[in-house]
Amino acid sequence: MRPSLRVGVTLALIVALALSILIPTAAIAKAGPPTVTTGFQVHSEFTPNDSFFSLQWGLTRSQGIDATRAWDATLGNRNVVVAVVDTGVWWTDSDIQANMWSNTDGSHGWDWINNDNNPMDLDSTGKYHGTGVAGVIAAVTNNNTNIAGIAQASLMALRALGPNGEGSSYNTSLAIRWAADHGARIINLSLGTNNTFAGVPTDISLAVNYAWSKGALIVAAAGNSGTASLDYPAALPNVVSVAAVDQSGTKASFSNYGPGLSISAPGVQILTLSANNDVHYLSGTSLATPFVTGVAALLLSVDSTLTNVELWNILNETATPVGSRYNTNYGWGILNAWNAINALNQPFISVNAYPSTVSRSSTFRVGWTILGPAGIPVSDTHVVWGADPNNLGNATPAQSGATRQNFTASDLQIPGSANTLYFKVVATVNGTRYESREYTVTASQLPDFLVELIQLLSSNLLYLALFILVLAAVVAFVPHRRVRAARRQMYRARTVAPAPRYYAGPPPGPPPAHPAQQVQARSAPPPVEFIRPSPPPQPVRAPAPPPPPVAPAKKRCPSCGTLVNADNLFCFFCGNPFR
């Protein structure tokens, strides 16, 4: 090939290669620079180094409550005080001792069984129920020892149950009040009874209401009899009731369920603490309950200003639904720690105040807070409501403000002849619309004054106590007053005409004729000195002793079994009428 031709070919190849590079580049430049997302957060899920963490399925993302992602936000805060009312806690265990709450005297709680300040879990059966519950909540995490607890909080041990796991409601109520008075924000009750009290106040219910009024969240086990009713006190309105699920997310066969159930959590084959720095497996709704308690402690670790109502709303509404949004098998769903923590990083509507029942003629209010980062503008928030859950066509006036602000809608009323009012709270925050879940208010068939009285008594413990005292006095007094009235009626005084004290004189007209009578001679009267002989003296007898007092007849109330007087018309304890 000639030199000139060789040079031409070489130049052509260079030009072709340059065009192959420059043309695609020019095409990209003509289309404009691509949109690149930057600045997003990346992190690894926290995995603790505790020896048996791999066996704690209830904490995992795939089967459990997704605690590992929640731990990326917080492991807990020891300023959050959690009380465990149970058989005590083996508080010298190296995997929990650092998280034990300390009183001013250095003790870690109280023991109502031995009446001292050493609430040690003394269980000869080897179950160590209270220690197991405490381990799920607050075992020390990431210390190369045994298990990981959900929240690194301060654990208050309150021993109200004996070694066999049984105790009195009185000791339990004292422990609940003690916890509230000593700063517990959450009270765990992995205990209960299947007795129902049909709305009758008990020492436990009054203690629960007292703790609730002081801002504590009370969490209790639903029960282990597999029945469609909740144990007591889980059935109380101011208690978060917890059912148990297994590794597949299915309700445990032993778990109670039913109306009023709040939430479900892992409760089958839960690895937790035992005595003497050991671990073992336990099952039951008693073990599901501390999962909820632990997540509530994580929420308070992130935001200590949350109220007990707001905590409860977050736990319920961030649970993973099973089937319909709410059902009596799982409540609002299975506990999810990551969802709960994440709810604090975005606007979240918490409905804090509304009546569940009102009279038809009365009006009511709804109160709510928009949680999330403080200070985000809220351009509009209001209540939408109606008698049909599929057509909430009515709305209260729009309000504006900012997140972390309280809002109230007034003068709501159940419409017309409807029996139920349905409502939601909606809000537009920073241009995005949010809404709460749907709530219901039912119409009461009671007279207005009775509904108002019930609401007054339920909102004020002092009024409730006074009402109970007055009712007991009336029930005890009225039957006796009726009996006295009946006796007075039986022995009523009667008017008797007195004998005449003067001579009225003969009747008018001629005197009646008398037949002739033969006059007989009378014997001479006795002399003046005659004295009638007195009868011989009788021996003096000691007076007979009075008969012993007869105890009033008794009968037993068929409703509550209380012994009352046989003439009572009502049982003074439960109010059951006898006739």
148 φ/ψ angles, rounded to the nearest 5 degrees: -105, 130
Helix (H) / strand (E) containing 428: strand 420-429
Amino acid at 383: V
108: tokens are 């870690």
471 φ/ψ angles, rounded to the nearest 5 degrees: -65, -40
Strand partners of residue 272: 280
CA distances from 143 to 47, 149, 391, 471 (A): 12, 11, 55, 57
- Is the CB of residue 562 less than 8 Å from the CB of residue 574? yes
Identify the CA nearest to 474 among candidates 557, 568, 578, 579.
568
Give me the catalytic one of 286, 301, 350, 444: 286
Query: Cα(146)–Cα(149) distance, rounded to whole angstroms?
Result: 10
**Active-site residue 168, yes or no?**
no
**Active-site residue 286, yes or no?**
yes
Amino acid at 577: P
Query: Cα(81)–Cα(179) distance, rounded to whole angstroms?
Result: 9
Identify the CA nearest to 358 among candidates 423, 439, 421, 438.
421
- Is the CB of residue 138 less than 8 Å from the CB of residue 156? no
Strands 406-412 and 364-371: antiparallel
Query: Cα(192)–Cα(213) distance, rounded to whole angstroms?
Result: 21
Q: What angle do CA 74, 78, 79 make, to 5 degrees?
A: 105
Query: Cα(333)–Cα(317) distance, rounded to whole angstroms?
Result: 9
Give me the catalytic one of 50, 66, 86, 111: 86
Residue tagged 């089958």 (tokens): 268
- At residue 254, the 3 state secondary structure works out as coil
Alpha-helical segments (H) within 35-143:
67-71, 129-138
Give me the catalytic one of 50, 111, 129, 350: 129
Query: Cα(180)–Cα(255) distance, rounded to whole angstroms?
Result: 28
Catalytic residues: 86, 129, 286
